[in-house]
Amino acid sequence: MSAAREPVSSTDTLDRLAAVLESRKPAHGGDPEKSYVARLLHKGPDAFLKKITEEAGEAVMAAKDLQHGQGTAQALVGEVADLWFHSMVALAHFGLSPADVVSELARREGLSGLEEKALRKALARDAGE
């Protein structure tokens, strides 16, 4: 029998990770020789944006493998964790946090996905006129 795990608060976990990412920024003394995150941030957006693209592709492939009985749920979870992590590096670089994303998700809660997408398109169209 496996040991019971304590419930994990996703908000607390994301907040702690965001604080670590913030501390790895070059402006806060992040050392690219000692920290992967500091190295990504030091290289600039092209480096971490490339990683986001790579991790998104790997998440898609893990999902496809799982769909076809060739992968595992844990492989998909691992790839999505990598995608979230690198996305959080981008958020940190641009002065944003997981709370900003959670607020946006809360704003969308209860909205029809089709209606929300149509509204975004209309707003973008109006802004372009």
Strand residues in 3-56 grouped as ranges (E): none
From 100, 97, 62, select the one nearest 79 (Cα to Cα): 62
- Give residue 6's pLDDT: 65
Per DSSP, the three-state class of 116 is helix
Per-residue pLDDT of the chain (129 residues; tens, 9 = 90+): 445 666 677 889 999 999 999 999 999 999 999 999 999 999 999 999 999 999 999 999 999 999 999 999 999 999 999 999 999 999 999 999 999 999 999 988 888 778 777 877 888 888 887
What share of residues in the chain are helix, strand, coil (percent, to 5)? 75, 0, 25
What CA–CA distances, in Å, run from 56 to 46, 76, 84, 90, 106? 15, 11, 9, 14, 23
Backbone torsions φ then ψ of 32, nearest 5 degrees: -60, -20
